[in-house]
Amino acid sequence: MTQIVTVPTTPFEGQAPGTSGLRKKVKVFQQPGYAENFIQSVFDVVQPEPGAVLVIGGDGRFHNRTVIQQAIRMAAANGYGRVIVGQGGILSTPAASHVIRKYGASGGLVLSASHNPGGPDEDFGIKYNIANGGPAPESVTGAVHGRTGTIDRWLTVEADDIDLDRIGEVPVGAAKVQIIDPVADYADLMEALFDFAAIRKAVSSGFTMRFDAMSAVTGPYAKAILEGRLGFPAGTVVNGEPLEDFGGHHPDPNLIHAKALYDLMMSAEAPDLGAASDGDGDRNLIIGRHRFITPSDSLAMLAANIEIAPAYRGRLSGIARSMPTSAAADRVAEGLGVPVFETPTGWKFFGNLLDAGRVTICGEESAGTGSDHVREKDGLWAVLLWLNILAVRGISVDELAREHWARYGRNYYARHDYEGIASEGAKALMDGITARLPMLPGSRFGALTVGQADSFSYTDPVDGSVSANQGLRVLFEDGSRIVFRLSGTGTQGATLRVYLERYEPPLGDIDADTGTMLQPQIEAAEAIAAIAQHTGRSAPDVIT
């Protein structure tokens, strides 16, 4: 009989999960009992059945291994019978989602702060996923937050650290801990979804690509799939070794942090496809030769062509996008006669729609795209779907984009981020807009007239749950819009996101400069929100 050890503790302030789990500086997580309090609060809320299976994995960032060893002991003390851990503590977020589903786990702990930087002075995070493989819904994260406020003990067993690098099974307390190959199950799933033979043929006919793993978790996955199973030459995957500090970079696949890839794709040496993924492997960046594809457009273009991939033939049931994501996907849904759903930001809001079979593909402006194959967004999946479509259709990214816009029109789109601003200024800005919302309809800003202005609220069509205050929307009469929202994933101060969008019909100007096309909306955003005054910044830090 293993001795369960009860460790007394007191609550820590501010253990509220954000858009995707609890994210804080490593130094905060290194306080004795900090991670333990949060993990115990999760276990207290989900109350695992005796003998239940728990999956644990992470993106390999600094502090991962320490927390994994502790979480294994705590899982054993809390009644889990089996703990499945990725070798080296590695599991990309989508791979963790798949492993939870495949092995019938009751849930999983994903240790990641996603695209946030890593290292002793940077960020760490813990997220709990439920049995469907997806992020815990607000009912669970809210209860976990509540529990962190009253917690007075956590449970562990007396056991040494185990060797996380050796595949096999070891006992910890009464639990069996199984260290698995983090890549194999996921790579098999990808091969079952896509036409690997068609992609291999394209590669042997000279199709080229570069995949930038950003020194984060997708390196081993991309090497095994792209260079191993699909035959791309060695060196196609760059920055393919996961590093604890991501080489000192932000593992955020956007035009700022993946600038080297962008520069290559705009140069004379550009391969056919450029792609990147983030810290934990759920985001993606797609750039064709001389053609950047926004995440919102990528969702629309993938949805329009998804039935080319073998596993999706004849079964596109619907499309879902987060509210700030452009309406490009709505036009595809309309064209194909399938429903479209507009959810709040956060992948957790897609879970019910996917489980109910009401949507097949989902996407977000924040570089997330995925389908019903797992319950997380999936960076490599999006890259492979692009490859499958390009290989079968024999066209370039640029040709596909032009063809798409010529049929559906183009939603010009940009997101302006003001990062690490003072929380009071951010609050004042949002409060200011909120107070003006009722007066905005009918107001003119340059050539734009406001048609509707509101705070977005979502009623889940499956379980009826309501999520209010999910972003402020200003919708203009010409169909363009501005959305203001505070990020839920930052770890310092506040980050203001301003989402700008304008639609051009197929016969309009569909090949213009995005910044120029959005100038009226940019000016209106400043006039409505007094961004410079509240943030003290004259320009955004990041434009994506």
Instruction: Report the interface residues with ligand G16, using CB under 6 A.
Output: 19-20, 114-115, 282-283, 322, 345-347, 364, 366, 368, 487-489, 497
| 3-state DSSP assignment of residue 405 | helix
As a three-state string, the secondary structure of 214-267 is CCCCHHHHHHHHHHHHCCCCCCCEECCCCCCCHHHCCCCCCCCCCHHHHHHHCC
Question: Minimum Å distance from CB 108 to ligand G16?
Answer: 14
Q: Which is nearer to ligand G16, 79 or 86 (CB)?
A: 86
Q: Which is nearer to ligand G16, 318 or 368 (CB)?
A: 368
Q: Which is nearer to ligand G16, 73 or 115 (CB)?
A: 115
Number of H helices, E strands in the chain: 18, 27
Q: How far apart are CA 306 and CA 393, in angstroms?
A: 12
Q: Tokens 């999956």, residue?
A: 55
Q: Which is nearer to ligand G16, 195 or 280 (CB)?
A: 280
114 annotated active-site: yes
CB-CB contact of 61 with 113 (8 Å): yes
479: buried, middle or exposed (CB in 10 Å: 19+, 13-18, 0-12)?
middle
Give the distance from CA 66 to its chain's centroid.
24
How many alpha carbons lie under 13 Å from residue 79 in its C-beta half-sphere?
10
Contacts of 96 (CB under 8 A, 6+ apart): 55, 57, 86, 108, 110, 129, 133, 376
Question: Minimum Å distance from CB 367 to ligand G16?
Answer: 8
Question: Minimum Å distance from CB 124 to ligand G16?
Answer: 13
Tokens of 131: 């049995």
Q: How far apart are CA 528 and CA 443, in angstroms?
A: 10
Q: Which is nearer to ligand G16, 199 or 498 (CB)?
A: 498
Q: Which is nearer to ligand G16, 298 or 366 (CB)?
A: 366
Q: What backbone phi and psi angles, to 5 degrees, belong to 316?
A: -80, 105
Please say whether the dihedral angle defined by the alpha carbons of residues 458, 344, 320 and 463, taken in this order, is positive or negative: negative
Question: Minimum Å distance from CB 170 to ligand G16?
Answer: 31
Question: Minimum Å distance from CB 480 to ligand G16?
Answer: 21
531-535: long-range contacts (C-beta < 8 A, 24 or more apart)?
Answer: 531/418, 531/429, 531/496, 531/498, 534/421, 534/425, 534/426, 534/428, 534/429, 534/432, 535/418, 535/421, 535/425, 535/426, 535/429, 535/496
Q: How far apart are CA 120 and CA 25, in angstroms?
A: 8
Q: How far apart are CA 450 and CA 378, in angstroms?
A: 36
In the set 112, 114, 215, 322, the catalytic residue is 114
Sheet strands side by side (includes 448-455):
444-445, 448-455, 472-476, 481-486, 494-504, 410-421, 542-543
Q: Which is nearer to ligand G16, 115 or 289 (CB)?
A: 115
Helix axes 93-102, 379-393, angle to 10 degrees: 90
Q: Which is nearer to ligand G16, 277 or 388 (CB)?
A: 277
Find the helix or strand (DSSP H, E) in which 293 lies. strand 291-293
Question: Minimum Å distance from CB 207 to ligand G16?
Answer: 28
Question: Minimum Å distance from CB 350 to ligand G16?
Answer: 8
Question: Minimum Å distance from CB 478 to ligand G16?
Answer: 26
Q: Which is nearer to ligand G16, 219 or 253 (CB)?
A: 253
Question: Minimum Å distance from CB 191 to ligand G16?
Answer: 25
Pairing mode of beta strands 542-543, 494-504 = unpaired
Per DSSP, 35 falls in state H
Q: How far apart are CA 126 and CA 425, in angstroms?
A: 28
- Which positions are catalytic? 114
